Amino acid sequence: MIHLEKRPTPSPLWSYLTPLIAVVATMIAGGLMFALLGKDPVVAIRTIFWDPIFGEFAFYYRGQLLVKAGPLILIAIGLSLGFRAGIWNIGAEGQYIMGAVFGAAVGLAFYPMEARWLVFPLMILGGALGGFLWAMIPGILRTRFNTNEILVSLLLVYVAEQILASMSLGLLRNPDGAGFPGSRNLRQYESAANNELIAGWGMHWGVVAAFIAVIFAYIMLSRHVMGFNVRLTGESPRAAKFAGVNPNRLILFCLGTSGALAGLAGLFEVAGPAGQISIDFNVGYGFTAIIVAFLGRLHPIGILLAGLLMALTYIGGEAAQASLGLPAAAIQAFQGMLLFFLLAFDVFTNFRLRLGREIST
Amino acid sequence: MKKRTLLAGVAATALASMSFAGSHGDGPVKVGFVYVGPIGDGGWTYEHHQGLLAVEEAFGDKVETVYQESVPEGADAERAMTQMALQGADLIFTTSFGYMDPTINVAAKFPDVKFEHATGYKRADNVSTYSARFYEGRAVQGHIAGKMTKTNKIGYIASFPIPEVIRGINSAYLHAKKVNPDVEMNVVWVFTWFDPAKEADAAKALIDNGVDVVLQHTDSTAPQAAAAEAGVISFGQASDMAEFGPTPRVSSIIDNWAPYYIARTQAVLDGTWESVDTWDGISTGMVEIGEITEAVPADVKAEAEALRDAIGAGEYHPFTGPINKQDGSVWLADGETASDGDLAGMGFYVEGIVGDIPN
């Protein structure tokens, strides 16, 4: 007989091991799936995990890894603060959209003035503000009326999508676009463009911001009293109360920070890789970042690695589609397996596997 | 600063040199396709994929094809195209409007690779555009819809308010109105090309509203299923969707890209490829009218086929005046036909359609 026994405290060893085991298990199960689809599993796994970093075209893919990982890390860092304190912002996708809309609107308002020193910093502020304000809606509703921030933040994603569509068709539409939806291309507007800092490297200001966020989050969580409050509230809300943590302020802080970071990610994306506000500007970074946050154990360094890994499965997955003819759904299933195995093996962090008969109490 | 420009120069050279490495003299011509939906959508992407298969069939081992499906429009599309170009594609078809800027960006980096962008308006020396005059097919659908409706309410599931979609709505409405002056057009905007759940909801909402003919400008077959359940009629979109005949699907617009894809691949093989802007309709077969089923009375069927043939022969233009805009101002005088420029940028409803184009 096999049974699970709860550990007195979560095992630190397992909490580090599970992501690695999950990756290995995903490779095995995914390889099996690829084999069933009639593809060589070794080649497929190599195409996904190896070629983007070390293969023939790695000089291009490495940069793309940063482009893809940047927004994921930036958003996930913000989310992880709230998740640690038990505050669930599920609507980062909406805050990401609003950041992009606000930031792009600021940039477009100045068009065609050439003043990068003024326009770009203002756009960054606008982006952060857009995400922050959008996250304040569930925040204030929670602190004032005790509504559920999970539902409110999630539903506001759909509102944000409608606003995005309206902006691309109306207020922010490119007046020279022959009636087609979508704003001017910000990448072609020198003062607003968030181009690669070094051509071909993929490193743009959003990636820089992601790295800075990782460092700040690390310092905050390990050294600053606010980080202590966040961790304390997550681990023991009662103790936090006795320690004088104001729960409402903490809620607003966590939601506001994650909103602002998601907004920044949106701004850097719209001014850089995406280039313009369009109806389907958002492609799910805000939701994928939730996976990244958990895959990274809500730890800043872990999130950094998890963001890069997630980006790798996207980039490699696309490469496998084009070069091996794998269907898109197989790649999505592959990514799903990663989360599935992570959650499955996570059991061992809190439980111990015991062989033999359960001792009845 | 200097160091940065130097590095940028190195990277640019690397990118340029690989574009040369990408194009190979002998060996098969590599043709890439970037799809916005899954190849099994049964509509838009399915038909483009049929085009890919036709290219394979026509050229055998003289070509090699690659494709990537469900590619989001934006930064991801740019990567998908770059990837194909890096892996040696000679000709890349990007098959959604939203791929326009990414196509232009990637094409600038790979001057030796030919690009073909569907339904857009930006061209370059190595970027062609192509589209089909779907509005010609919509005229035939509108005619059948106007004759078939008993509630005098026609529903239209529209994707995005871009000129292509608005043209279709106007064309269908004008021809329904022509045969049935009492007809009303209800438009629902779903803001997606492919989302079976949303499309089905839109169809149900229209049907609940008394609509008994459903037209769609989205790519899945979900509205067909909803129409079948409710016992109303519908039209196949982009693909024949014949499996839903004889009802609810009474006819369809088929996008037949195969001849175009074969011709363009041939041009690359011959070395005669040039940047062009193609906009073909029923006359060249790029737009086909799927079989009109027995659910449609014989006389209506004959009229619809006559309309199709007149458009195909160039005897009749679906936008022939007098036509007023929704606000009552004159668009086309009596006997005047719409210019391609007007059609390409169409951003208004014609007189009689109720409601606003969302913005």
What's the pLDDT band for B23 if we cut at 50, 70, 90?
A: very low
Q: Does this model's pTM top 0.95?
A: no
Cβ of A180 within 8 Å of Cβ of B163? The answer is yes
What is B134-255+287-344's CATH topology?
Rossmann fold (3.40.50)
Are both B22-132 and B134-255+287-344 of the same fold?
A: yes
Q: Residues in chain A whose beta carbon is closer than 8 A to a beta carbon of chain B?
A: 57, 59-60, 64, 67, 161, 165-166, 169-170, 173, 178-181, 185, 197-201, 269, 273-276, 278-281, 283, 315, 318-319, 321-323, 325, 327-329
Per-residue pLDDT at A357: 64
Residues B304-312: contacts with CB under 8 Å, at least 24 apart: B304/B140, B304/B143, B304/B144, B304/B251, B307/B139, B307/B140, B307/B143, B307/B175, B308/B140, B308/B282, B311/B136, B311/B139, B311/B140, B311/B281, B311/B282, B311/B283, B312/B136, B312/B281, B312/B282, B312/B283
Q: Judged by CB atoms within 8 Å, which residues 143-202 of B form the interface with A?
A: 160-163, 191-192
- Residue B122, helix vs strand vs coil: coil
Per-residue pLDDT at A269: 94
Amino acid type, B220: S
Closest CA to A150 of A205, A104, A94: A94
Architecture of the B22-132 domain: 3-Layer(aba) Sandwich (3.40)
Looking at residues B254-266, what average pLDDT do you find? 95
* B213–chain A nearest CA distance, Å: 28
> Is 50 exceeded by the pLDDT of residue B5?
no
Each domain of chain B, given as residue ranges in start order, spans 22-132, 134-255+287-344
Cβ of B18 within 8 Å of Cβ of A325? The answer is no
> Is 50 exceeded by the pLDDT of residue B278?
yes
Please list every residue in chain B whose beta carbon sits closer than 8 Å to the beta carbon of residue A199: 7-8, 11-12, 15
Mutation pick from A57, A180, A195 vs chain B, by most beta carbons of B within 10 Å, is A180
Domains of chain A: 40-325 (1.10.3470)
Mutation pick from B65, B160, B192 vs chain A, by most beta carbons of A within 10 Å, is B160
Per-residue pLDDT at A247: 87
CB pairs under 8 A between A and B: 109
Cβ of A181 within 8 Å of Cβ of B121? The answer is no
The pLDDT tens digits of the residues spanning B124-164 come to: 999 999 999 999 999 999 999 999 999 999 999 999 888 88
Cβ of B79 within 8 Å of Cβ of A198? The answer is no
Q: Is B67 on the interface with A (CB under 8 A)?
A: yes
Residues B207-213: contacts with CB under 8 Å, at least 24 apart: B207/B155, B207/B232, B209/B153, B209/B155, B210/B151, B210/B153, B211/B151, B211/B153, B211/B154, B211/B155, B211/B186, B212/B148, B212/B149, B212/B150, B212/B151, B212/B153, B213/B145, B213/B148, B213/B149, B213/B153, B213/B154, B213/B155
What's the pLDDT band for B26 if we cut at 50, 70, 90?
A: low
Q: Where are the alpha helices (DSSP H) in A111-148?
A: 116-145
The pLDDT tens digits of the residues spanning B86-110 come to: 989 999 999 998 899 899 999 999 9
- 10-residue mean pLDDT profile of chain A (361 residues): values are 80 83 91 92 91 87 92 96 93 96 95 88 96 96 94 96 90 80 87 84 90 94 87 85 87 95 96 89 92 90 93 90 86 88 85 70 49
What's the pLDDT band for B14 if we cut at 50, 70, 90?
A: very low
> Is 70 exceeded by the pLDDT of residue B22?
no
Percent of chain B with pLDDT over 90: 74
Residue A327 has its nearest CB partner, among B69, B80, B162, at: B69
DSSP string for B282-321: GGGTSEEEEPPPTTS-HHHHHHHHHHHHHHHTTS--SSBS
Q: What is the DSSP letter of B331?
A: E
Strands B249-255 and B287-290: antiparallel
For chain B, helix, strand, coil in percent to 5 are: 45, 20, 35
